[in-house]
Chain A
Amino acid sequence: MPGLYAAQGIRKSYGTVQVLKGVSLDLKPGRMVTIMGENGAGKSTLFKILAGQVPPSGGTLSLDGAPLALASPSAAHARGIYLVPQEPALLPELSVAETMFVGALPTRRGPLGRVDWTAMRARARAALDALELPIAVDRPARTLSIAQQQQVECAKALLRGCRIILFDEPTSPLTSHEVEHLFSIIRRLRADGCTLSFISHRMDEVLEISDEVAVLRDGLLVDVVDRPSFDRTRLLSQMVGRPMKAVPRRSVSNARDEVALEVRGLSDGARFHDVGFSLRRGEVLGLAGLVGAGRTEIAETVFGIRPAAAGEVRLGGETVTGLDCHAMIRKGLVYVPEDRARHGAVLPMTITENVTSGLLERVRRRAGLLSARDETRISASAVRDFRVRCAGLDQTLRELSGGNQQKVVFAKWMTTGPRVAILDEPTRGVDVGAKEEIYEMIDAMARDGMALLVISSESEELVRLCDRILSVYEGRIVAELSGAGITPAAVARSYLTAAAPSGGVAA
């Protein structure tokens, strides 16, 4: 059966940073090969090279034994290779059928070469039907969920005659139900003899769907395992390069009696309803849940950047409902957003400018102008306290790694002396070493008496950090875990049970 896609000694450098250091991998027809590895291991880069999006710095690709040079994604499509991106970028204003045919619209014969809309719709319908996808072809693409967009991408791949399909972390934005649906499509494609590969972090999914698992670490392929010898512990330890410890759990709580933040009956009228909790000084409270459960919306409403429809927010006993985030920051409530590049930091500005931007009033003035010396002093001490690795305070954030960017964003808020801090996915896009440092910083802030609300999609992270965990499902708090009840499995179970058809709540 044709469709053997082989990579031999693939290397890739960006500037002086080597991302891939010689990776050889065979993708075979009728098999699903999963690429695992930590952030920065080079998984996405490998996929981009396989799909013709970036050229390799060295190494060769071959298809069924013949060498292959891919100049562009469309060249890859022509050879039958298709990459489904993590968050598909369908053109929002076009119909489903149109997005599937973008760049290759079927035309009628004749001098005008008019688009053959009837044929287009019929062929789009057929491709969707082949995967048993009940999506109307005339729907505007913007009305599709991310899961449906991925499904359309799969149909699009088939439509272009692509038999080698790569999925870049398809499951991370999906609910478990949607993951099941995607997997049924993948099984169908596999039975049909397609060559498949995907990237995932979720062990359970990997063990369920894969025929073969390849583990990347620091740009090298460290292990390739066949289905019969799958072993959770082995894969995990291969990924991080050291044996996994059981998730460490904080033995002491720093929580004091004094309530720092109290939320009652908060709703935004759309994404979440009747949310209530209280957070004490020194306490670390976690918000667990699926991506899209409404946790970020809750945090943004508390912070005052998103309007509340009903409910009350009290900060240290004072009612602050309805204040904007400018006022909230000055009352001592700060929010470290999930999307660092868009909301958390201004990447083209310097470390110093970013650090002081959270509260410019604290910089001393001379004749109404910001004192450069005082600004440097604030920034230098922030960089020291938060262990930011940089060449100079006037480096732009764009030049720093994800972990160091995140430390700067932490420094920006924590140096304003807040009473309450909301941390939304505090370690997203951060490498393993920096992750542990950030955990230590969060512990230290709690010891100092700061009240912390942590949103995370990694159960292990919440278990590591939190005194108490609230589980959010579809905009409602469905469970509360505390003390010995906090384990990664219990955290995941707490919201997944709510997602089960019975709708039961487990704690």
Chain B
Amino acid sequence: MDMRAPANANAVTPRNRRRLPVGGWELALTGLLAAVVVGFGAAAPGFYTGPASLLGLTENFLPFGLVALGLSLVILTGGIDLSVGAVASLSAVLAAQLWSRFGVDIWAAAAVGVALGGVLGLVNAGVILRLGIEPLIATLGTSFLYGSAAVAAAGAEPPSGFPGGFTALGTGTVDGVLPASLAGLVPIQLVVFAAFAVLFSALVARSPFGRVLVMVGYSPDAARYSGIRTGRVLVTAYAVSGAMASLAGLVLASYYDAVRPDMGDVLLLTAITMVVLGGVSIFGGEGTVAGVVVSVLVLGFLRQGMLIAGFSDMVTTMLTGAILLASIAVKNLFNRRGTGLANQIWAMIRRPEPPRANPS
């Protein structure tokens, strides 16, 4: 095109101004995490009795984190998946039954369980897209279906007492692969979670799928007009959410060395809290996986610390609610679009710049 060298073009090619994919929110959460860990380490005897005990605490909450990672994809599209708890229960129960009733190898049964979770996610997406039902209602409905299927499949005496290799998934540490000095230190759960955290972060921040996922989240219409097949994006997000929920269910089964048809119920609300505290907007589009990962650690260590310090579950839950509300209030004050109260105050203090945009 012959407008390559116009006289009044930008003299210098504009570059990116920010380099890091994390913003102020992620940094603030990291500060909060440090405060929680150091605070409990100093004030609650028994919270820190060595690196192994600290890392070992994560085994109590990382299943929530696995659910939160998958759920964050769905919430980034502007949707919600309320069936994650029921999916976790149903997959774990069915995998356990495959092993106990039909003699299938436990790892093969677990793989079938994760695949089943993906299929249940596809069903969710089908209900949302084909029947045109809001994600909130659609997944509430399917969560009842999946949950009662889990009760039916579990029978009177659900299986328990898995082979030792399988229970290591929930309670074992990584030995042999890592240097000898780390033997008995790093839980397998933590390695699994870290691997998925890195994978999901790359997926959302830099993969073509992540890009269209965020576009659909911010503006489904604009995505459609850009030639994006938005239905496929949603189908993938719900399928991944289902598979991650199943994985969490299987880790829980391994951790408890048993399955119960209601074992996944506790996952849902905590996982949603983790995603939202992590900075993902429930309206879609905004948020990073890094934020969700830090938020998983913040809420997880907070709960474990409170329990060790002797507070009841009630106080811990109350505090979680308060932190969620306070942090979202703070976030809204500094929201990225620059319209928050704190931003406006800052704009008044700051030296005026020459006008760039022209409203109206």
Contacts and interface: CB of A to CB of B under 8 A. Distances in A.
Interface string B1-19: 1111010111001111110
B226 A358 contact: yes
B33 to A, nearest CB: 27
Interface of A is mostly: mixed
Given A16-B352, A305-B224, A401-B357, A440 B14 contact: no
Given A358-B227, A384-B9, A391-B17, A400 B357 contact: yes
B358 A15 contact: no
B13 A326 contact: no
B357 A42 contact: no
Interface string B323-360: 00000000000001100000000010000111111111
Contacts of B221: 342-343
Interface in A262-313: 305
A116 B6 CA distance: 68
B106 interface: no
B285 interface: yes
A326 B337 contact: no
A86 interface: no
Contacts of A369: 202, 206-207
Contact of A394 (B13, B18, B215): B18
Nearest to A433: B8
Contacts of B4: 384-385
A58 to B, nearest CB: 16
A448 interface: yes
B3 A385 contact: yes
Contacts of A345: 222
A307 to B, nearest CB: 13
A342 B222 contact: yes
Interface string B207-230: 110011011001101111111110
A338 to B, nearest CB: 10
A72 to B, nearest CB: 20
A356 B228 CA distance: 12
Contact of A380 (B6, B14, B286, B357): B14
Contacts of A3: none
A361 B207 CA distance: 11
B356 A401 contact: yes
Interface of B is mostly: loop
Nearest to B358: A401
Interface string A360-395: 110101001110100010001001111111111111
A40 interface: yes
Nearest to B6: A387
Given A383-B10, A387-B6, A392 B17 contact: yes
* Interface residue range, chain A: 35 or more
Contacts of A353: 211, 215
A398 interface: yes
Contacts of A412: 226
A162 to B, nearest CB: 24
B17 A349 contact: no
A386 B8 CA distance: 11
Contact of B3 (A372, A391, A394, A440): A440
A491 B155 CA distance: 77
A447 B14 CA distance: 28
A444 interface: yes
9 contacts: A16-B355, A17-B355, A343-B222, A346-B222, A346-B223, A368-B207, A385-B4, A388-B10, A395-B17
Interface of B: 1-4, 6, 8-10, 13-18, 202, 206-208, 211-212, 214-215, 218-219, 221-229, 285-286, 336-337, 347, 352-360
Interface of A: 14-19, 39-40, 42-45, 305, 324-326, 328-330, 335, 337, 342-349, 352-353, 356-361, 363, 365, 368-370, 372, 376, 380, 383-395, 398-402, 412, 431, 440-441, 444-445, 447-448
The 8 closest A-B pairs by CB, nearest first: A392-B17, A369-B206, A329-B227, A326-B227, A17-B355, A343-B225, A401-B358, A16-B352
